[in-house]
Amino acid sequence: MSGRPVKSRIKERLVSILSKRRVSYGYELFRLYEKFYSKTNLRNIYYNLKRGVASGELLVIDVKRELGDYSWGDEVERIYYTLGPYAEVVDNNLNLKPAELKPDLSNEFNRLIFNLKSDSKKSSNKQRVINRCNKLISWVKKSFENPNQLIKEVEQVKNTLSP
């Protein structure tokens, strides 16, 4: 297998930070990473955030333009992240307060269920899709107050795969 490995220590640590913080944006994650772990560069954090989103370990829940007095101008674009359904928290011993912002994950759920439905139709590896369904169900149970209807949607996709 060529290319970079799928696992990343930095990505695992970002998942740990978000497990406590719930919601955060890139630069804040960079500052928290350096506070609790080791020095790194900002580009490395953004690279791992992008890879985490691609793998489903992290979710982009909001992109906001905020005004302020910055060295580059008067506006900043903040991309807010939260844990995704495929995140596995390794180190959970951080002393962090949760963020005030509560994420709206309904759009993200709709995107994930759409992807699962299309994967179930075209994927030759049914067991992989079933495993993703199981992870999505456990994420829905943790992330939503009334998960029953959402779980039924995932179970419907899962039932189409079972022999």
Q: Read out DSSP for 119-156?
A: HHHH-S-HHHHHHHHHHHHHHHHHH-SS-HHHHHHHHH
Whether 69 has a pLDDT exceeding 80, the answer reads no
Whether 4 has a pLDDT exceeding 80, the answer reads no
CATH 2.60.40.10 fits 9-83, yes or no: no
> Does 104 or 69 have the greater pLDDT score?
69
The domain ranges of the chain are 9-83, 106-161
Residue 101 confidence (pLDDT):
54
> Does 128 or 34 have the greater pLDDT score?
34
Whether 44 has a pLDDT exceeding 60, the answer reads yes
Q: Report how far apart, in Å, the C-alpha atoms of 100 and of each of 4, 6, 20, 28, 35 are.
A: 35, 31, 12, 14, 20
Q: What is the pLDDT of residues 76-124, one digit of tens each?
A: 899 999 999 988 888 777 777 666 556 667 777 777 888 888 888 887 7
